[in-house]
Amino acid sequence: MGRLRVAAALVSSFLVLIGVAAAAVAPSGPPTSTGTGGAAASVETLATQAAIDALKRGGNAVDAAVTAAGVLGVAEPFSCGIGGGGFMVIHRASDGKVTTIDGRETAPAAMTPASFMWDNGKAPAFTTARYSGMSVGVPGTPATWGEALEKYGTFSLAQALAPGIALARNGFVVDQVFHDQIAANQQAFRDLPSSAALYLKPDSTALDVGTVFRNPDLASTYERIAHLGLKGFYRGAVADAIVNTVQTPPVTTTATPGWWHPGVMTMRDLHDYVAPERAPTHVSYHGADVYSMGPPSSGGSTVGEALNILEPYNLGALPRDQALHYYLEASRYAYADRNQYLADPDYVNVPLKGLLSKDYAATRRSLIKETAATSPVGWGDPWPYNGGGGSASVKVSTSEAEPGQTTHLSVVDRNGNAVSYTFTIEQIGGAGMVVPGFGFLLNNELTDFNFDSTGTANQVEGGKRPRSSMSPTIVLKDGKPFLVLGSPGGATIITTVLQMLVNRLDFGMTLPDALAAPRASQRNSSSTQAEPAFINTWGTTLGARGHTFSSTSEIGAATGIEFLGGGKVVAAAEPVRRGGGSALVESPSP
């Protein structure tokens, strides 16, 4: 949705709220921008511009990121919003600190490993599990915004949410992507009057392209949070409405049979939610320091393990097909470990130190041959490299939920503060349920558990955070920010971020080229998922090494920013994927 979005009725109220001059048409953001000052990149022009406006008003990168995220919650409601959660990685320029905020959703306290097994003791099909109250985790996005601003920002929630409030009230014009995402959820939305009233026409079909879309209920919800703070969401009327929606999905009498199983969330679950600050993962790679999100995300550890496996190879000097072979094999072996060991560290002893050990990576590298391994390959034993105290005997986690669709935001300011933020409601449209009267969709994040099995590290448990693949990443060189990047894409996020890092750090591509290059995602599966351009270019030579490929139209929708030196930055977003993205800098080069 980075293509031109027209804001309908951007009038004086909008100007007062955002404090800058605005036109009737949202500024068109190109996929690449170079210049000085701060920068931002996202999938949506309106959000990217909101971040730039926040920077120009004196906000830092955290202020700008939360501001843009609030706009994305309005303009990208099927991918993100206050009904979901995510992970934020922050670099603070004043002392070089890199930290993370864990805004992952939690399972209600009453849930057990058997909570989804309501179909004669078995879990239902994924779609049935998704469109249910049981799939909804306690949202973490508002708490993430509040935590980030309180500790690292300068804006209040009211300042940060003002542009989102204005956009929700004044509206924007529906584009093709927005229409298509409604259409993908049309059957579910028809089942819920609150969802149908917001996203469907009177004939129960998706809003037409060109329609002016407004969401006054969401504007009022944002205003409530702006006025009351986090208690405006996690307590009172909003919290009560969330619980009622989850426990008794507000569906019609003709709702789809089998869908809308009730959940068990309570007000106490909302009251008790916190978004903790956690240490980032960290690996060194060819002189760069790569920081990302640790458990309950599997992103930082799996990207880090794969980089450690790859480091001794001089990938840039090798024939490209050989280098890509090593990239795919490193992904394969790192993913085997990810599936086995990664889960919420408050519930599972995750051998993170071992997984990120260079010596452990050497044991995994020794398994890589010049031809592709046959998946599934086995997991390794990182415990001896973790200081001991663990076992590799836990039941393997073999199932993987359908790919989710998140959104990613990259922001830096002129002082060198940086934010890499990935957040989501899981599937396009989440659980399909708009909270009546409050204008936001609830997530289906609890399907990220291995909800159809017990005894795995990632099984369902009350209060637990489901494993994620989100991999917001910040790369430093000589202690200074060098790259800020990330991507949506469910389980393919990990390989997307890894491939972008290899493209930039090993193959020497520019950041825009590293981001736009054709992608392939090997996740310890019998075939490698890849885009057509990748298969057309490398399918034959990699096929001779034993790789097989399954084609998919696109993988990920990344954004990134690179510090070029001398005060210059380049911001990059997708030129084509997911409709193209938007990248802007404060002071563009002529």
State the catalytic residues: 406
On the 0-12 / 13-18 / 19+ scale of CB atoms within 10 A, 370 is exposed
Q: What gap in Å lies between CA 327 and CA 240, rounded to an integer? A: 48
Do the Cβ atoms of 116 and 451 come closer than 8 Å?
yes
- Parallel/antiparallel/unpaired status of strands 582-588 and 480-486: unpaired
Q: What gap in Å lies between CA 37 and CA 556, rounded to an integer? A: 27
Best CA proximity match to 467, nearest among 404, 520, 525: 404
Token pair of 182, please?
């409604």
Token pair of 354, please?
């071992």
Exposure of 339 in the CB half-sphere (CA atoms within 13 A): 22
How many CB atoms are located within 10 Å of the residue 479 CB? 7
Q: What gap in Å lies between CA 153 and CA 147, rounded to an integer? A: 9
- Parallel/antiparallel/unpaired status of strands 549-551 and 528-530: parallel
DSSP string covering 40-59: EEES-HHHHHHHHHHHHTT-
Q: What gap in Å lies between CA 472 and CA 469, rounded to an integer? A: 10
Query: Coil, strand or helix: which one is 3?
Result: coil
Q: What gap in Å lies between CA 485 and CA 514, rounded to an integer? A: 11
Q: Where are the alpha helices (DSSP H) in 19-125?
A: 45-56, 61-75
Q: Where are the alpha helices (DSSP H) in 214-279?
A: 216-228, 231-234, 236-247, 267-271
Which residues, 6 or more positions from 230, have their beta carbon under 8 angstroms from its beta carbon?
142, 143, 146
Token pair of 485, please?
């990047």
